[in-house]
Structure 1
Amino acid sequence: MTTMNRHMTAVQNLRALEELGARLEGLLVLPGSGSYDAQRRVWNGSIDRCPAAIVRCASVADVAAALRFARVHDLLVAVRGGGHSFPGHSVCDGGMVIDLSLMRGIRVDPEARTVCVQGGVLLGELDAATQPYGLAVTSGIVTHTGVAGLTLGGGMGWIMRKYGLTIDQLLSVELVTADGEPVRASTAENADLFWGVRGGGGNFGIITEFKFRLNPVGPEVFAGPVFWPMEDASEVLRFYRDWVADCPDELMTIVVQRRVPDLPVIPRDLVGRHVIVVVACHLGPVDDAERVMRPLKSFGRPLLDLCQPKPYLVHQSMFDPGFPHGWWYYFRTCDIAALTDDVIGVMAEQGRRIVSPITSVGLWQMGGAVARVGEDETAFHGRGAGFTFNINGNSYSAEGFDAEREWARDYWTALQPHHTSVYVNFLMDEGEDRVRQAYGVAKYDRLKALKRAYDPHNVFRLNQNIRPD
């Protein structure tokens, strides 16, 4: 194409974009506008991409119009809910970002115990709307995560062992398909599509509204972290393994390895020290929680015990200071069947090698209600996993990031003999084989067939992509 033809095409596309912007209820943000740089940024600071247009949708009609425009003009499509995708799938170079962040409506029906949530809502906003009624949906551990991305991959959180994954609370979705048409899916309507969106990610459409079942939670829970020195990791993990083996569904735990962060609740002499931490959340009465937690709280010589009654909303935001917008994040992940002596050995060895003050490992306890949902009932794979690793190699900026990324890869590789399944929401851009592993062969084939039916041209490919071919 000649320089003149390229210029004419650019002008024509700009005019077409301006016409699109005039029809929107929301906003069109183009390169050069005052808010462009702010709007193109996502949570993971290591992602730096420049789309040709950002459509900040205010309605389903805006979503449909933006999607049709992208199809007609052959633009790559990125869909942004909370912008929290680990590998940065919610922004692209040269294409169109369909941004749902203006669509933040929440409707709670406390009598029916349901909530309807638009596609741009964040987890903290959902919790804030439901907790006045003592109700909640399983909803992650960082409040500025988007509901949409969390849900579409499965949805893990503090109440999942009692009530199941986020998708296990999902009653229906409203979405816009690849051809720009609105569709509703539930167990009674487009049931095949409803099966696929419960774990299959953003492969089948743009979800504009979710309807969830609500569960009784809070407003207070018995929750928080207990810290031990990293040199005691082997003993703590062996105790922990036995302690959680027959624990009640009301208890959920995440084991964390990191250096102690500089926070107001932390004694100054502990800041920067390598520690292993068990963070717990018990949903039952305080007396029951104290009885269940007593063995953990009295094991060995804890450096610090912050596990106590507190508002559920406070506990939900506990990890927020450790994962703010703009830091550079890299993740590796795997599921394991059990916390064997060999796995404990890897954790003890690799934990001592943490350098960055913001690098961490989270070992999520699985089981409970998650494992009692039939494996074939949803697209989510790995309900029988014992634990899920989320290995974070993080830095404040580009400085030191390569070293942290290599440490995370080394940790993951050391665990490789013990890998089983993998949680799709914790994947980076790791290729088709890893996506297939996230679903298993049978589910992956079923998802490919569903993709051929609803998105045969792979319009929605900026995700953990299930290719239709």
Structure 2
Amino acid sequence: MRDTLMSTVLTPEDAGYEAATRLWNGRIRRRPAMVVTPVDAAGVAAAVAFAREQGLAVSVRGGGHNIGGTALADGGLAIDMSAFRDVTVDPGARTATVGAGCRLADVDRATQEHGLATPLGFVSRVGVAGLTLGGGLGVLTRRFGWTVDNLLAAEVVTADGAVRRIGRDAEPDLFWALRGAGANLGVVTSFTYRLHPVGPEVYGGLIAWPFERAAEIMDGYRAITAAAPRELAVWLSLLTAPPAPFVPPEWQGRKLCAMAVCYTGDPRTADDAVAPLRALGKPVLDQLSRTQYTGIQSYLDDTEPEGMHYDWRSEFLAELSGDLLGTMRELFADCPAPMADIGLLHLGGALNERPADDGAVGNRDARYVVGVKGMWPPGETQETRFREWVAEGGDRIRPYGLGRTYINFQGPDESDARVRATYGANYPRLVEIKRRYDPANIFRSNRNIRP
């Protein structure tokens, strides 16, 4: 097997296997039959061909950060893309070609050398491949759309072992499906993104108020985000203040209503852009200032440490109703988990201007995401209670949503019906493309489209 694949291969008997199969979500433990680490597209193709011949499911590990643990499949062949870490930036053409093993920090660091960026996520350790193939969202989404709206081309190894270079004019059906459901179609080895002038300095940070003022602050948030320019992204979170140096000691361990802010417009207008936030008055902390874009892209890293146990529920929203905001407050007031939170991601803007069938990602009517997020350490005696709170929260926010959710936020406990609902009217076309490119469904360690 090792001679056939010409790659590093680990099995459960090998040193290094345990580390290679450790996932960000420590609640999920899976044991593939082997972990293969190829160094080029030919090695990926050999691994895919081997798996197909042996009847093994193929999973792909980029960053291993998916909430559902899709990077690994029990008894399958896991392809570790960690050797694919090159980033090539063409500042004249405003493009970046990125290896599928890169983390967001790798891409942001390279593109910011030229004052450029593409919409990515908001935790720097996340893998760029999984983020992109599920659609991709972040603080630049309001200005420039989903990550896949900025994807120009990709190199992908399909189930037949072929290495294909695809784009809107090269195998357009496969490229269409890749933009939002790509984990179902093959192993992407590189992505080429469109870049935009952003940074290196932007304006942003955290601002927070006592949870006792949450009704007032959340009403303000609704009005501010409805009128905000696209250069301003404001994400709201109900959370318990951590024992961090930037939190005043008297507020550590207390419930807060906080906002994470990023303004990427003209620096001369930054104060005016955030003035409505400061007009809410008397925050317990205000860290809004000029800062590096790479700092904005990493300052939430510590909120999602590796190895903790996670459970999430989320919904896309077209609007923020008073009833939803009240439900969020009620849920958080009764939250038993000290490291859990309930949040709103601010999206409306560029993504809403494209047709619903522009890429499999769809969801062009989404203007916010609401999420109920649980986090606790391994061995927590109240894990069952915490998970019940997350599940109840998901049930209670669902009536206010669009019936769909970001595919990258779907955990292992969510049903296939949620996958079909998320892709909506795009699902039948996805099934046809999946049947054409992966009829045996070897790429099924994902939110699966069934041929």
Calculate the TM-score normalised by the size of structure 2.
Answer: 0.97
Query: 1:280 pairs with 261, 265, 269, which one?
Result: 261
Does the 8 Å contact 1:28/1:56 carry over to 2?
yes
**Mind listing any 5+ residue stretches in structure 2 that lack a counterpart?**
none
Q: What is the letter of the counterpart of residue 114 of structure 2?
A: Y
Amino acid in the other structure paired with 1:446 = R
Inter-partner Cα distance in structure 1 for 2:196 and 2:417: 36
Where 1:329 maps in the other structure, the secondary structure is: strand
Question: Which amino acid in 2 is paired with 1:336?
Answer: L
Contact 1:261 1:357 in 2 (8 A): no
One of 431, 453, 463 as aligned partner of 2:415: 431
Matched, 1:388 2:369: yes
Q: Could you give the per-residue CA deviations for residues 1-29 of structure 1, whole angstroms, max 9, x where no partner exists?
A: xxxxxxxxxxxxxxxx23335x23xx111
1:75 aligned partner: 56
Greater relative contact order (CA < 8 Å, ≥ 6 in sequence): 2
**Structural mapping, 1:25-104, within 5 Å:** 27-104=8-85
Aligned to 2:131: 150
1:329-340 → structure 2 map (5 Å cutoff): 329-340=310-321
| Alignment pair present for 1:290 and 2:271 | yes
Tell me, yes or no, if structure 1 residue 378 matches structure 2 residue 359. Answer: yes
**1:241 and 2:222 are equivalent in the alignment:** yes
Amino acid of the structure 1 residue aligned with 2:421: Q
- For residues 44-76 of structure 1, the C-alpha deviation after alignment (integer angstroms, 9 at most, x for no partner) is 111111111100121111111111111111112
Distance in 2, matches of 1:311 and 1:354, equals 34
Q: Match of 2:156, SS?
A: strand
Distance in 2 (alpha carbons) for counterparts of 1:434 and 1:103:
32
Q: 1:201 to 1:262 in 2, by over 3 A?
A: farther
User: Which residue identity lines up with residue 93 of structure 1 in the other structure?
Assistant: D
After the TM superposition, which of the residue ranges 202-211 and 421-430 deviates more from structure 2?
421-430
Aligned equivalents of 1:39, 1:416: Cα separation in 2? 36
Provide the residue aligned with 2:447 in structure 1.
464
User: Deviation of residue 295 (structure 1)?
Assistant: 1.7
- Aligned equivalents of 1:337, 1:112: Cα separation in 2: 35
Task: Provide the secondary structure at the position in 2 that maps to 1:93.
Answer: coil
Report the AA paired with residue 398 of structure 2. Q
Cα deviation, 1:390-449, whole Å, max 9, x if unaligned, reads 221110114132222211111111112212021111111312210011111x20011001
Residue 408 of structure 1: aligned partner: 390
Q: Which secondary structure does the structure 1 equivalent of 2:228 belong to?
A: coil
| Residue matched to 1:8 | none
The one-letter amino acid paired with 2:302 is P
What code does the residue aligned with 2:422 have? A
Question: Does 2:425 align with 1:455?
Answer: no
2:185 maps to a residue whose letter is F
Task: State the TM-score, normalizing by the size of structure 1.
Answer: 0.93
The percentage of aligned residue pairs carrying the same residue is 40
Per the alignment, in what secondary structure is the counterpart of residue 126 of structure 1? helix
Asked if structure 2 preserves the Cα contact closer than 8 Å seen for 1:328 and 1:398, the reply is: no
Which string of whole-angstrom CA distances, capped at 9 and with x for unpartnered residues, describes residues 296-315 of structure 1? 11314211111111001111
- Matched residue of 2:355: which SS? coil
- The match for 2:88 among 87, 104, 107 is 107
**TM-superposition CA deviations, 1:270-298 (whole Å, max 9, x none):** 11111111111100123311102112113
Contact 1:76-1:459 at 8 Å conserved across structures: yes
Decide which moves more: 281-290 or 153-162. Answer: 281-290
Letter in 1 for 2:199: G
Name stretches of at least 5 consecutive residues in structure 1 with no aligned partner.
1-16
Q: Secondary structure at the match of 2:227?
A: coil
Equivalent residue letter for 1:212: Y
Whether the aligned pair in 2 keeps the contact of 1:46 and 1:398 (CA below 8 Å) is: no
- Cα RMSD after superposing both structures: 1.2
Decide which moves more: 372-381 or 442-451.
372-381
Query: What is the identity, as a one-letter code, of the residue corresponding to 1:458?
Result: N
Q: Distance in 2 between matches of 1:49 and 1:69?
A: 21
Q: Distance in 1 between matches of 2:38 and 2:261?
A: 38
Q: Does the Cα contact within 8 Å between 1:231 and 1:348 map onto a contact in 2?
A: no
2:192 to 211, 215, 221: 211
Alpha-carbon distance, 1:354 to partner: 2.6
State whether structure 2 residue 99 is matched by structure 1 residue 118.
Answer: yes
Aligned pair partner of 1:270 in 237, 251, 256 = 251
**Where in structure 2 are the equivalents of 1:348-363 lying within 5 Å?**
348-363=329-344
Corresponding letter in the other structure for 1:268: P
Alignment partners' CA distance in 1, 2:432 and 2:67: 26
1:185-205 Cα shifts (integer Å, max 9, x gaps): 101110111111111130111
Moved over 6 A (4+): none
Counterpart contact for 2:184–2:443, Cα < 8 Å: yes
